[in-house]
A and B are shown apart, each in its own frame.
Chain A
Amino acid sequence: MKRFLIPLAVFLVLVVFLAVGLKRDPREVPSPLVGKPAPEFRLDTLATPGKQFSPADMRGQVWLLNVWASWCVSCRAEHPLLVAFAKQGGLPIVGLNYKELRGDGEIDMKKVPAGEEPALVRQRAGAWLARHGDPYALSVLDMDGRVGIDYGVYGVPETYLIDKKGIIRFKQIGPITPEALEQKILPLARQLAGEAS
């Protein structure tokens, strides 16, 4: 009897490891940026050409930075949740419009005349928000994805929860699910709102 117990135990341990491995999403790479200051940037806003936004403008507030693009299918899936969340007015959401034109595989950038990109980006992104709702306090345009690289963006949508001191406290990779919002983002945001800035 005893001689079967050891292989059985080894097998069960293996099963547990494999079961945990199966449940984990290999696309979710833990971000080294959690616990670090949100990278600084200065980008034009979607609404007003020439008007710029920087994360420093949000100092003293707990806020969400949501990376999106009109070509991103998962963003559309996540969008109603963001719109409903914004209506409750819990946290300001800033949109980082990521490679609106250059990220769209169907657009040949060689055919886009130089200098017309910002106008075209504003037109496309604006139309998308008009159609699906605009949950953002404001959106900024990261046309070439440079800021996205600084934030370690590798699959839109991604969302960062940033505290009053400008430190990234949580990163959601992929669409925000109702569970992630209720169980992770909101409790953490409530706790962060109580911290001194």
Chain B
Amino acid sequence: MKRALACLLTSAILGAAGASLAADATPMAEDPAVEARLVVISEELRCLVCQNESLAASRAELAEDLRREVRKLIRDGKSDPEIRDYLVARYGDFVLYRPPVKPTTWLLWFGPFVLLVSALVGLIAYLRRRSAGLTPSALTAADKAAAEALLADPGADNPPKHNA
């Protein structure tokens, strides 16, 4: 009883707002299986109009047309790859959020790894060079003699500060 009342109340509220909402609502397909597949497929596809939205999320008009088209293809019994190919044939690889690996997309797929590896190689080379520079170099005989002379005669040209 309580639930029925809640339902009634909700539908009354929705009914009041419905006039404006109805115009925007896209017609739901009767078949939930088709809708489920539509969502799976179209989430992997890019909307051409608002390019950072998926075909599933976009409210652009073209996206609606394309969803309608995909629904039709699903009902025609087309497989997911066939539907993707259908859209790629018309709009290019750009519609795919996961572009195929082929020579023109190699840079896209492997570029970041190439960058990472070359940065690592550069870093290692730099660190090696730096640590090589830090190892104490052996003193020449002349250096050693000069150092010993200085140690033996502290007052000569470098008087200690606290000798008073």
**Which residue numbers of A lie inside 8 Å of B, CB to CB?**
26-27, 29-33, 99, 102-103, 105, 108, 110, 144-145, 149-152, 154-155
Complex formed: what's the CA distance from A145 to B68 in Å? 11
Q: Given the complex, which residues of B lie within 8 Å of A154, measured CB to CB?
A: 48-49, 62, 91
Overall SS of chain A's interface: loop
Check if A29 sits within 8 Å of B65, measured CB to CB. no
Closest to B46 in A: A29
Q: Given the complex, which residues of B lie within 8 Å of A155, measured CB to CB?
A: 48-49
The 5 sampled A-B contact pairs (Cβ below 8 Å) are A29-B92, A32-B92, A149-B69, A150-B90, A154-B91
Question: Taking the complex as formed, is B88 at the interface, i.e. its CB lies under 8 A from any CB of chain A?
Answer: yes
Overall SS of chain B's interface: helix
Taking the nearest CB of chain B, how far is it from the CB of A160, in angstroms? 13
Q: Given the complex, which residues of A lie within 8 Å of B62, measured CB to CB?
A: 145, 154
Question: Taking the complex as formed, is B74 at the interface, i.e. its CB lies under 8 A from any CB of chain A?
Answer: no
Check if B90 sits within 8 Å of A26, measured CB to CB. no
With A27-B51, A154-B48 already in contact, the answer to whether A103 and B94 are too (CB < 8 A) is: no
Complex formed: what's the CA distance from A116 to B40 in Å? 37
**Which residue numbers of B lie inside 8 Å of A, CB to CB?**
23, 48-49, 51, 61-62, 65-66, 69, 88-94
Check if B92 sits within 8 Å of A103, measured CB to CB. no
Q: Given the complex, which residues of B lie within 8 Å of A149, measured CB to CB?
A: 65-66, 69, 90
Q: Given the complex, which residues of B lie within 8 Å of A145, measured CB to CB?
A: 62, 65
Check if A29 sits within 8 Å of B49, measured CB to CB. no
With A149-B65, A154-B62 already in contact, the answer to whether A29 and B94 are too (CB < 8 A) is: yes
**Choice from A29, A99, A105, A144 contacting B91 with Cβ under 8 Å:** A29
Complex formed: what's the CA distance from A150 to B49 in Å? 16
Check if A32 sits within 8 Å of B23, measured CB to CB. no
Q: Given the complex, which residues of B lie within 8 Å of A29, measured CB to CB?
A: 48, 91-92, 94
Complex formed: what's the CA distance from A195 to B23 in Å? 52
Check if A152 sits within 8 Å of B90, measured CB to CB. yes
Closest to A39 in B: B90
Check if B90 sits within 8 Å of A151, measured CB to CB. yes
Complex formed: what's the CA distance from A102 to B89 in Å? 24
Q: Of residues B48, B49, B93, which shows the largest number of chain A Cβ atoms within 10 Å of its Cβ?
A: B48
Q: Given the complex, which residues of A lie within 8 Å of B94, measured CB to CB?
A: 29-30
Check if A30 sits within 8 Å of B69, measured CB to CB. no
With A27-B51, A29-B48 already in contact, the answer to whether A110 and B91 are too (CB < 8 A) is: no
Check if B23 sits within 8 Å of A26, measured CB to CB. no
Complex formed: what's the CA distance from A145 to B60 in Å? 14
With A103-B61, A108-B23, A149-B65 already in contact, the answer to whether A32 and B51 are too (CB < 8 A) is: no
Complex formed: what's the CA distance from A18 to B87 in Å? 30
Taking the nearest CB of chain B, how far is it from the CB of A74, in angstroms? 14
Q: Given the complex, which residues of A lie within 8 Å of B23, measured CB to CB?
A: 108, 110
Q: Of residues B49, B90, B93, which shows the largest number of chain A Cβ atoms within 10 Å of its Cβ?
A: B90
With A149-B65, A149-B69 already in contact, the answer to whether A30 and B92 are too (CB < 8 A) is: yes
Complex formed: what's the CA distance from A37 to B91 in Å? 15
Q: Given the complex, which residues of B lie within 8 Å of A27, measured CB to CB?
A: 51
Complex formed: what's the CA distance from A108 to B24 in Å? 10
Taking the nearest CB of chain A, how far is it from the CB of B80, in angstroms? 18
Complex formed: what's the CA distance from A154 to B93 in Å? 14
